[in-house]
Chains A and B, each alone.
Chain A
Amino acid sequence: MTASEILDPLLTAQTWREDGRQVAIATVVETWGSAPRPSGSHLVIDGEGNFEGSVSGGCVEGAVITEALDVITSGVPKMLEFGVADETAWRVGLSCGGKIRVYVERLA
């Protein structure tokens, strides 16, 4: 593998799926304010909670992984929103003050 491939979440997702693992792909689709990762960034998750990539600076990955496991089971995509103003119990905030929307889908 070349340098840029080692940490490539989309290549990881393909390899995992081809190995027979269940996989979800989370993508940042919208950002407001000082979001840590730009739109288009990916986090990929397998059925056991292993992950590669990032959608934030580590602030919300835990919550995304939990939701991704749901998506893997149900097959139904989800849109997640994270921001400082959000105080919903299971949701965590972004300490940078930004707001992001993350789309989570199953890799069929």
Chain B
Amino acid sequence: MELETLAKLNAARQARKAAVVATDLSGGPVRLILEGEPVPGPLGQEVAKAFRSGKAAMAEVDGRSLFLNVHLPPPRIVVIGAVHISQALARLAPVAGYDLTIIDPRTAFATEERFDGVELIADWPEDVLRERPLDAYTALAAVTHDPKIDDFALSEALRVGCFYVGALGSRKTHAKRVERLKEMGRTDEEIGRIAAPIGLDIAAASPAEIALATLAQVVQAFRRRDLVTDG
């Protein structure tokens, strides 16, 4: 591979753009293909398949043996609420390779002292998510309990198809939330995707344990996410 190709690939990855690298294993050239770039012929079909499955694979094209490596944007976590659980989640997420951003308009919660070294935005989700939209490679965890802060972000996460959407709160709290999200135009199917109560059932009791259970659930959702298959 040429350094120039690698630099372009890394730039695409950092801009959260999906890319395929096609390597001719007979020692031939290495080609970088960005998502959406038209590729004609049999190679195009193989590349489309690779983008859809997200899995690297060998392919025989025109008698040549190619390796197609797929680079999908790294999953990240957006947390609504600068609460105790978020403090623990902010420490755990990087270990599992997830970048994490916390959004909370309540400046009493969103302080640098409580979230040293964490990307923290003390503003309303409505405003932040307009500038920095959620996407299919983002997990959203809403943990404020406050409809004024959580609801918009939850609705938006369901609308754009975040691979994970979790919300903190008891079943009773969640039942009321479901009604509000319906009023906001979300379908039953979309709302059914919300993980509530949040986190895998590991009998988590402390904020740190709830954070761990949530992170485990995010990993599970990412690894088991529905991939569009051929036909």
| Residues of A bordering B, CB below 8 Å | 2-7, 10-11, 13-14, 17-18, 25, 27, 29-30, 38-40, 76-77, 79, 103, 105, 107-108
Contact = CB atoms under 8 A, between A and B. Distances in A.
Interface of B: 1-3, 6-7, 9-10, 13-14, 23, 25, 27, 30, 55-58, 67, 69-70, 74, 76, 93-94, 97-100
Contacts of B69: 27, 39-40
Given A29-B23, A103-B67, 9 more contacts: A4-B76, A13-B6, A14-B10, A18-B3, A40-B55, A40-B56, A103-B25, A107-B2, A108-B2
Contacts of A77: 27
Given A10-B6, A107-B1, A4 B74 contact: yes
B23 A105 contact: yes
B56 A25 contact: no
A30 B25 CA distance: 12
5 contacts: A10-B6, A29-B56, A39-B56, A40-B55, A40-B69
A79 B93 CA distance: 35
A105 B1 contact: yes
Nearest to B93: A3
B66 to A, nearest CB: 10
B55 A108 contact: no
List the 10 closest A-B pairs by CB distance, nearest first: A40-B56, A3-B94, A39-B56, A4-B74, A29-B67, A40-B69, A2-B99, A17-B3, A108-B2, A77-B27
Most chain B CB within 10 A, of A27, A29, A30, A107, is at A29
Majority DSSP secondary structure for residues of B touching A: mixed
A30 B94 CA distance: 29
Contacts, number: 65
B97 A10 contact: no
Contacts of A25: 1, 6
B58 A30 contact: yes
Contacts of A7: 97
Contacts of B93: 3
B10 A3 contact: no
Nearest to B73: A4
Contact of A3 (B3, B30, B70, B99): B99
A77 B25 CA distance: 8
A7 B74 CA distance: 12
A39 B68 CA distance: 10
B23 A14 contact: no
B5 to A, nearest CB: 9
B98 to A, nearest CB: 6
A29 B58 contact: yes
B98 A4 contact: yes
Contacts of A29: 23, 25, 56, 58, 67
Contacts of A27: 23, 67, 69
A3 B27 contact: no
Contacts of A103: 23, 25, 67
A94 B100 CA distance: 35
Contacts of A40: 55-56, 69-70
B10 A76 contact: no
